[in-house]
Amino acid sequence: MSRKYRVIITRRAERDVEALDSVVRKRIHGALRQLVMEPLGRAKKLTRPELGQYRLRVGDWRIIFDLDGRDVVVLRIGHRREIYRKKK
């Protein structure tokens, strides 16, 4: 039996989720539940560490997160077209 991780959602990520429509929000919540059991199962390591350590793909949406021991810290959630762009 694997040990569970704790998912911590930052305030910025909460605002990202609140802006989504209900269908996408349900898919994101399902992906977040999967992070509890195995965060690196389908995640990819990011090449730009200033954004976050890992990303999880949920269709056209991305969950950007860091691992801190047994904590999964969700930093951002956004569409693939916009999530990697630098803010001006």
Per-residue pLDDT of the chain (88 residues; tens, 9 = 90+): 467 999 999 999 999 999 999 999 999 999 999 999 999 999 999 998 888 999 999 999 999 999 999 999 999 999 999 998 876 5
pLDDT at 1 (0 to 100): 47
Residue 87 lies in a domain: no
- For residue 38, the domain's CATH number is 3.30.2310.20
Residue 84 lies in a domain: no
- Number of domains, the chain: 1
* Residue 41 DSSP SS3: coil
pLDDT at 2 (0 to 100): 62
Residue 86 lies in a domain: no
Q: What angle do CA 16, 3, 56 make, to 5 degrees?
A: 30
Residue 52 lies in a domain: yes
> Which residues form the domain of 12?
6-79
Predicted TM-score of the model (pTM): 0.91
Residue 17 lies in a domain: yes
Residue 1 lies in a domain: no
Residue 49 lies in a domain: yes
